[in-house]
Amino acid sequence: MRHRVAGRRLSRTSEHRLALRRNLTAALIEHETISTTPEKAKDVRSFAEKLITLAKKGTLAARRRAIAMLGDRDIVDYEDGRAVRKGTIIGKLFSELGPRYLDRPGGYTRVVRLSLRRLGDNGRLVLLQLVGEQEVQPKEPKATRKRKRTKSAEKGSTAEEDTPGRENGTEQASRTELEADTGEQK
């Protein structure tokens, strides 16, 4: 029994699971979006968010811990058929991603379900993405929205107050209907 044992096995040994987690996280940091299965995405998500939290600290000790957890592979891009080194995963994590999420308390990734299925085994697919810069900007406060609603509600109530005798008009109409009904019954 696996009582109180956290984490997913993913049908792999512990070494294979760790290598999978490191490779997917490195790909996520490099490309900022990856396509994988929902189970792997949920497993990688927490690992990647812990690394981004380390990158927010930006200290030498945090950088060394990140290298120990993830490794420090190169980011390679191919230009004119030649491999060109663009930097390292840890360098991008600490120079770009850490400062990007400095004001964000957590939730650096999102999982978006895709309707597509994998061709080989018809497995479900999701996109694991880093939340973009446009998401970091704060939304309009709720209190402001409520004030707008109350102003429009007040305008609606003033319209009813401006038409005096409206209630009297409806009462008179209902009285005439009652009189007409009683007249028909007699």
160: containing domain: 142-185
Residues 37 and 79 in one domain: yes
Beta bridge partners of 111: 128
Total domains in the chain come to 2
Residues 90 and 160 in one domain: no
Residues 126 and 53 in one domain: yes
* pLDDT reported for residue 132: 84
Q: Note whether residue 2 is domain-resident.
A: no
Q: Which of 21-30, 57-66, 152-161 has the lowest mean pLDDT?
A: 152-161
* pLDDT reported for residue 6: 87
Percentage of the chain exceeding pLDDT 90: 69
- 149: pLDDT strictly greater than 60: no
SS3 label, residue 83: strand
Residues 120 and 154 in one domain: no
Q: Where are the beta strands (DSSP E) in the chain?
A: 33-36, 74-79, 82-88, 109-117, 124-130
Beta bridge partners of 87: 75
Percentage of the chain exceeding pLDDT 70: 71
The pLDDT tens digits of the residues spanning 64-94 come to 999 999 999 999 999 999 999 999 999 999 9
Residues 33 and 102 in one domain: yes
**Token reading at 66:** 């990140």
The pLDDT tens digits of the residues spanning 40-67 come to 999 999 999 999 999 999 999 999 999 9
Residues 25 and 103 in one domain: yes
Q: What is the CATH number of the domain that holds 56?
A: 3.90.1030.10
Q: Note whether residue 172 is domain-resident.
A: yes
Residues 54 and 87 in one domain: yes
Confidence category of residue 30, pLDDT binned at 50, 70, 90? very high
74, HSE (Cβ side, Cα atoms, 13 Å): 7
Residues 103 and 163 in one domain: no
Q: Note whether residue 3 is domain-resident.
A: no
Q: Which amino acid is at 126?
A: V
CA–CA distance, 156 with 116 (Å, rounded to integer): 48
* pLDDT reported for residue 186: 45
Residues 73 and 95 in one domain: yes
- 130: pLDDT strictly greater than 70: yes
- The answer to pTM > 0.75 is no
